[in-house]
Amino acid sequence: MIKTNPMKAALAAGRVQIGTWINLVRNPAVLTLLRAAGLDYARIDMEHSSPSIETVADMAALARALGFPIVVRPPAGSREWITRLLDAGVWGLHIPQVDTPDIAREVVQAARYAPAGMRGMAGLGPHNDFAPSGDPAADMAYLNDQVHVTVMLESAEAFRHLDVIAGVPGVDALTLGPSDLAQDLGVLGTADQARVLDEHRERLLAAAAKHGKDVAMLVQTLEEAERWIAAGAKIIAYSSDAAVLRSGYAAAVRRLRPPR
């Protein structure tokens, strides 16, 4: 029997999903740890981090067995990356640099089977838990329902097309890339950065609400998380494995080795 994506079901029921970025740890057992900590999902970065497709495939297999979904950001939103990740059993995609409606439509075409798209056809594999039903049409429709696609708006160009991108069928959620967007807008590292990014987050929330889409939000503090959950964000990525490890050990060292 083909497994159900717990994140897709939870979001459909209106439940906020709390996860974190995996930028450093490549042992799939980290998913067991994060699940035991109470998180709902993990987001694996292949754009700015080092995991291979083999590592991600191992994580996807464990994620499906645990019922603890992973979301993967590929290096690019190309058909090649989308096909390989989905066929490896990944349920969720976090697609970078979606600057235009055409790019958003191409992502959907690669991620969904007909009639919603034209995803490449694979046979027996992790994507269908090696348990197809024998009814290809029913399986295609079911697998389309399990895939979750988030698109990242990371430029002024993307926000000029915000309303149309938000309305593209097959896109489940919107988010922004704060650092890339700030760089493109010319406010990275300035006093205006926080204000400008918050204005774009508010625009994102409004467009998502208009088109019935969810919003994913990266936060570094619990206060930020509470603020954006209250504003309507349903997918929260709290910090990362690297940042949590660094801050935790740094706090311990500060206490154990006070200034002389």
CATH number for the domain including 144? Answer: 3.20.20.60
Mean pLDDT over all residues of the chain? 97
Does residue 109 sit within a domain? Answer: yes
Given pLDDT bands bounded at 50, 70 and 90, which one contains residue 259? confident
Residues 205 and 231: beta-carbon distance below 8 Å: yes
pLDDT of 260 over the 80 cut: no
Residue 199 lies in a domain: yes
In a domain, 60, yes or no: yes
Assigned domain for 133 exists: yes
CA–CA dist 119, 133 (Å, integer): 19
What is the predicted pLDDT for the residue at 144? 98
Element (H, E) at 211: helix 193-211
Residue 1 domain flag: no
HSE-CB at 242 with a 13 A cutoff on CA atoms is: 11
| Number of domains comprising the chain | 1
Element (H, E) at 225: helix 222-231
The tens digit of pLDDT for each residue in 183-220 reads: 999 999 999 999 999 999 999 999 999 999 999 999 99
The yes-or-no verdict on residue 172 having pLDDT over 80 is yes
The answer to whether residue 143 sits within a structural domain is yes
For residue 164, what are the domain limits?
A: 6-256
**Within-domain flag for 179:** yes
Q: Do the Cβ atoms of 208 and 226 come closer than 8 Å?
A: no
So which residues are the catalytic ones? 48
What pLDDT score was predicted for residue 258?
A: 78
Average pLDDT over residues 89-112: 98
pLDDT band at 87, cuts 50/70/90? very high
Q: How large is the average pLDDT for residues 56-79?
A: 98
- Residue 79 and residue 221: Cα distance in Å, rounded? 35
Residue 155 lies in a domain: yes
